[in-house]
Chains A and B, each alone.
Chain A
């Protein structure tokens, strides 16, 4: 099936929020904190500006609670009294002309009595820097299985390692933006977002309104990657507050530099491993500590931490595991959702550590993984028994095969012996990604979808799940077409507008196809049943039955419905962190072939193989696109992308200095799928949106380790980092300079 919105994107007809035609609107802008931490002493307005022309909003204009509703209510919509990170929103301005607005932003001065900030999440904060609880820990979580201390005490070998990863910016093509207006007492938003109903909830709290007076519409969205999960709630509130006060529509659109400097990023991490193994490399005990930088407010850090620790022990069977997780408060802009959601950080550490163990014991990195990979009947760190029929060893074997792993390893040894200035290496990672919300999260979401039969026999899909480039519209259309036997032109997807669609949950967590797609199949069945037809009815009969139903029920809606029901096999205990963390896992084995230039210390990836077991591939082109895109994005994290910080500000907040891979930096990426259908996913599918991010950085770092004989413990592996590794860990025979 062709991509539903492909042509309108290709021809530029798709309307993103900045393109939406609206009369008589004002531009909005944000006045931000000039300090990372401190008390607001006052706000001064220069006389050079005629302030009567402007709409000015501060915390006093917030009708409800001054908090962006999420897990906690600690993050203010607009700072009041004190600021906790640089560039924190303090004041909002609106004006019909952007140039005047820009001058006005310059003419507002937020005076702050600065206080000592916390800028390094790895350090234990001293007393004057405590700002959350009594230890700056935003969230603490623990997983325990067996008796890890006893297992480590008895293990023949105990191997330790500390691994770190940096922040990463999403670099969605379209920056954050919202348009707000009030119409017949309903505050309405159109904008770039992943989760329309998150914004409804945020508005209920901060604007003190009931949901019937709130309408959120997703405009065409140019990429999200998690960056438009929680962050849009704040900017939507800002646009709404301005629109309500001005009594006119307000457009609030971030430019790229503002977006880079102030929006969420991937959580930086520090992960410590202490692992007991026997002489063959069998894991006897895993003691793991995961620490994340949460930034200045709680936001989603507790759930990012949750997914991070659940994935921290890797796709391996081990009887004794303890994982301690902490998300730390710092005076940085809050870190947030980003493809992988904590798992890439802990899996980088796990997979780098597996290679370190193999190197220390003199075991083949392939063999140590084969010995330990979960077999059906084994359990994960949370005690979830895996019995999905997938063969994880086969996934690994297929990747090795496709990559000519052993042949290349031999060839590289010859190359490295002959070449004075270049080194080649091949590295692998085996990993997994749980799809959908963690534990009882899906139950809590209580998602609902509608498939409506229209009077003319067309079928309309109504969900709150959005297209943001990943292919939701196309896959949803194809699922309903297949289920009802109707052609694509008979199916339309309703806009993700909360006045039209039920709450089917957020478009996150690799849940859209697997969970919501599954609900669409059920709702399609329900629609057919409501027309009185049996399961084997063909599409033509169903469309005729829909028209017939409307003839006999004039003016009434015909809606097939489905609500989420937890599959019976899922049991999760949120108190003990024991049980079935996810309904299904997708499994991956990735192989990277790299070359390191010993003169420039630059790493180039020569070839990349991505093999994964995903339940069922629903759309070959889109699925490959997801994998390849995820690999490229993760190659950026592994090799190029580095947020440089100074006093709590992102120093390289432009795309000239924060560099992401271009087409010229992308190696051949060879993708292959294995399929072992998941009975509770749409047509057997498991989620794959985030999976490809998890395996890339460790495969690349392991390849660099193999090529250079060093032991990289962090990403990104920029040339300066590799220089440091090579000169420090493996001094060259001749002097470099």
Chain B
């Protein structure tokens, strides 16, 4: 089997202790929650930190809280917990759905919502063992200077592949991040960057503590759709989170969509309201949205699944989402 490198494992009890440990071993430490993404990546020698700071024993990072403003989910809460929580399933079904579609059952019990938000990007030329990457001459994201996806490319385009993170975008989620300088809150909409090497606006010394999802207004409906090879397990080949706001009389007030597993960040589609706002969500409106989404989505060859087919699936996922939303 693939083996891990030697490292020291720290078990802080509080966020502050964890931050202090990350600062103490800065440059050679990483936080670990469920480890479902980090451990395989360490086995592939993509990360070889000498210190792992476990978040599993930090009580304040676990659990789901609910108040009038909405839900606050500890970053170290398992995906399975979020997926099966009754209140979340009722109030935020698209988030519950997205969490339930991450990987397989065992990994959802270990993997966390915060881990999913901070998931490393994936690429054909990156998620490989050392000897494989060495033979290819490495790549932009790790140890090398050339991009094998975009010839001559100077910016890494590894695929953002996080299901739950994509679902959180149209939910207007806010992230509470703690660091040596204290705490800050940032909307998830501004969290991701287009740099596939490190696509988060968060320093390695910071920790995502919790995710706040505001209560959705009465006329808002969400859907999350995932394309994958097998129904039992698999990373996304395409993700789509859709939000439609309806007026009291049932006409559309606005449409938002976020698509991922195409480039290095979940992409918010633009200009979806044009010609749609004020109209009921009819078949032809859905088709117009499907066409517009197709026009804006361009999956890259960063994962070994045909990009043309993935693009052709964009309107399919839009239609499926709208069927759910109209139901």
Contacts and interface: CB of A to CB of B under 8 A. Distances in A.
Contact of B305 (A175, A258, A654, A720): A720
Contact of B304 (A640, A647, A651, A723): A651
B309 A256 contact: no
B240 interface: no
Contacts of A258: 129, 131
Contacts of B229: 640, 659
Nearest to B125: A651
Interface string B136-157: 1100000000001000000000
Contact of A255 (B2, B136, B234): B2
A513 interface: no
Interface in A666-719: 718-719
Nearest to A601: B309
A22 interface: no
Given A600-B313, A659-B229, A34 B135 contact: yes
Nearest to A604: B231
A640 B230 CA distance: 9
Contact of B135 (A86, A657, A663, A719): A86
B135 A737 contact: no
The A interface, classified by DSSP as helix, strand, loop or mixed, is loop
Given A600-B316, A723-B312, A662 B131 contact: no
Interface in B86-128: 124, 127-128
A637 B229 CA distance: 14
A653 interface: yes
Contact of A261 (B43, B132, B312, B316): B132
A611 B40 CA distance: 42
Nearest to B127: A654
Nearest to A257: B129
A216 to B, nearest CB: 24
A11 interface: no
A256 B135 contact: no
A720 B135 contact: no
A105 interface: yes
B312 A736 contact: yes
A649 B135 contact: yes
Contacts, number: 99
B315 interface: yes
B155 to A, nearest CB: 21
A174 to B, nearest CB: 10
A336 to B, nearest CB: 20
Contacts of A654: 127-128
Interface in A589-608: 599-601
A349 B80 CA distance: 46
Nearest to B1: A255
A640 B231 CA distance: 13
Given A720-B306, A737-B315, A256 B128 contact: no
A257 B128 contact: yes
Contact of A659 (B3, B45, B230, B291): B230
Contact of A106 (B130, B303, B312): B130
Contacts of A599: 316, 319
B235 A257 contact: no
Contacts of A257: 2, 44, 128-129, 132
Contacts of A139: none
Contacts of B313: 600
A551 interface: no
A423 interface: no
Contact of B232 (A18, A102, A649, A665): A665
A649 B134 contact: no
B6 A653 contact: no
A652 B124 contact: yes
Contacts of A653: 128-129, 132
Given A255-B1, A644-B304, A99 B6 contact: yes
B288 to A, nearest CB: 12
A256 B40 CA distance: 12
Contact of B1 (A256, A640, A651): A256
A18 to B, nearest CB: 8
Nearest to B232: A664
Interface in A238-284: 255-258, 261
A192 to B, nearest CB: 13
A720 B315 contact: no
B3 A255 contact: yes
A719 B311 CA distance: 12
Contacts of B137: 34
A531 to B, nearest CB: 49
14 contacts: A18-B1, A35-B135, A102-B5, A102-B130, A255-B3, A256-B2, A261-B131, A640-B229, A647-B136, A657-B127, A662-B233, A664-B231, A665-B231, A718-B306
Given A32-B131, A98-B3, 16 more contacts: A86-B135, A87-B131, A261-B129, A600-B227, A600-B313, A640-B229, A646-B148, A656-B234, A657-B304, A661-B230, A662-B232, A664-B232, A665-B232, A720-B305, A720-B309, A737-B294
